[in-house]
A and B are shown apart, each in its own frame.
Chain A
Amino acid sequence: MDLVYFLFSQTLLFTIPLLIVALGGMFSERSGVVNIALEGIMIIGAFGGIYFINMSQTHGWMNGLPLFLVALVISAVIGGLFSLLHAYAAINLKSDQTISGTALNMLAPALGLFIAKVTLDGLPNVMFRNTFRIVEVPFLSQIPIIGDLFFKNTYLSTFIGLFILVVSWFFIYKTRTGLRIRACGENPHAADAAGINVPKIRYLGVVLSGVLAGMGGLIYIIPISTEYNCTVAGYGFLALAVLIFGNWKPWRIAGAALFFGVMKTLAYTYGSIPILSSLGLPSVIFKLIPFVATLIILTFTSKDSAAPKAAGIPYDKSTR
Chain B
Amino acid sequence: MKNRESVKLFLASLAAIACGLLVGFIIIMIANPSQGVRAFSIMLQGGFYRGLRSTGQVLYFAVPIMMTGLSVAFAFKCGNFNIGATGQFTVGAFTSIFLANTLYGVIPDSVLWIVALLGAGIAGALWALIPGILKAYKNVNIVISGIMFNYIGMLLVIEGVKAFIYDQAGARSQTALVAIPKMGLNKIFPGSDINAGTIIAIVVCIVAWYILNKTTFGYELKACGYNQNATQYAGMNDKNLAIFSLLCAGFFAGLGGGLTYIAGTGKAISTAEVLMVEGFNGIPVALLGMNSPLGCIASALFVSYINLGGNYMQAVNIPVEVIDVMVAVIIYFSSFTLLVKGFIDSYNKRKEKGLLPSDGGSE
Contacts and interface: CB of A to CB of B under 8 A. Distances in A.
B14 interface: no
B156 A284 contact: yes
Contact of A237 (B145, B147, B323, B324): B147
Interface residues of A, number: 48
A295 B155 contact: no
B336 A109 contact: no
Contacts of A124: 319
B275 interface: yes
A122 B287 CA distance: 32
A174 interface: no
A288 B319 CA distance: 36
A114 B139 contact: no
Interface stretch (A9-17, A63-71, A100-108, A197-205): A100-108
Contacts of A95: 335-339
Contacts of A94: 338
B144 interface: yes
Contacts of B325: 107, 110-111, 114
Interface in A215-267: 233-234, 237-238, 240-241, 244-245
Contacts of B141: 244, 298, 302, 305, 307
Interface in B67-114: 81
B145 to A, nearest CB: 6
A99 B147 CA distance: 17
Given A93-B339, A241-B148, A298-B144, A106 B334 contact: no
A94 B341 CA distance: 13
B242 to A, nearest CB: 14
Contacts of A295: 134, 140, 145, 148-149
B329 A107 contact: yes
A6 interface: no
B203 interface: no
Contacts of B134: 295, 298-299, 302
Contacts of A111: 321, 325
B132 interface: no
A96 B274 CA distance: 28
Interface in A96-136: 96, 98-100, 102-107, 109-111, 113-114, 117-118, 122, 124
Contacts of A282: 159
B148 A89 contact: no
A107 B322 CA distance: 9
Nearest to A231: B274
A234 to B, nearest CB: 6
Contact of A99 (B273, B329, B335): B335
B332 A241 contact: no
B229 to A, nearest CB: 15
Interface in B144-182: 144-145, 147-149, 151-152, 155-156, 158-159
A264 B222 CA distance: 40
B335 A96 contact: yes
Contacts of B274: 233
B30 to A, nearest CB: 8
A294 interface: yes
Contacts of B26: none
Interface string B302-338: 0000000000000001010111110111011011111
A93 B143 CA distance: 23
Nearest to A233: B274
- What is the interface of chain B mostly: helix, strand, loop, or mixed? helix
A36 interface: yes
B336 A89 contact: yes
A298 B335 contact: no
Nearest to A86: B332
Contact of B27 (A102, A104, A114): A114
A122 B140 CA distance: 44
Contacts of B324: 106-107, 109-110
B354 to A, nearest CB: 26
Contacts of A103: 284, 328-329, 331-332, 335
Contacts of A299: 134, 138, 140
B283 interface: yes
B230 interface: no
A99 B284 CA distance: 8
Contacts of A237: 147
B31 interface: yes
B147 A241 contact: yes
Given A109-B324, A237-B147, A118 B31 contact: yes
B342 to A, nearest CB: 10
A303 B139 contact: yes
A51 to B, nearest CB: 15
Contact of B159 (A234, A240, A284): A284
Given A302-B140, A305-B139, A106 B327 contact: yes
B65 to A, nearest CB: 13
Contact of A89 (B27, B138, B280, B332): B332
Contact of B335 (A100, A284, A292, A302): A100
Contacts of B147: 234, 237-238, 240-241
A67 to B, nearest CB: 27
Contact of A93 (B140, B317, B338): B338
A298 B130 CA distance: 13
A2 B141 CA distance: 40
Contact of A102 (B140, B322, B331): B331
Given A102-B284, A118-B32, 15 more contacts: A85-B332, A95-B337, A99-B334, A100-B332, A106-B327, A114-B321, A114-B322, A122-B317, A124-B319, A288-B155, A291-B149, A295-B148, A302-B134, A302-B138, A302-B140
**Which 3 A-B pairs have CB atoms at the shortest separation, nearest pair first?**
A110-B324, A107-B328, A95-B335
21 contacts: A93-B336, A95-B338, A95-B339, A99-B334, A99-B335, A106-B328, A107-B329, A110-B323, A117-B319, A237-B147, A238-B147, A244-B141, A244-B144, A284-B155, A291-B149, A291-B152, A294-B148, A295-B134, A299-B140, A303-B138, A307-B141
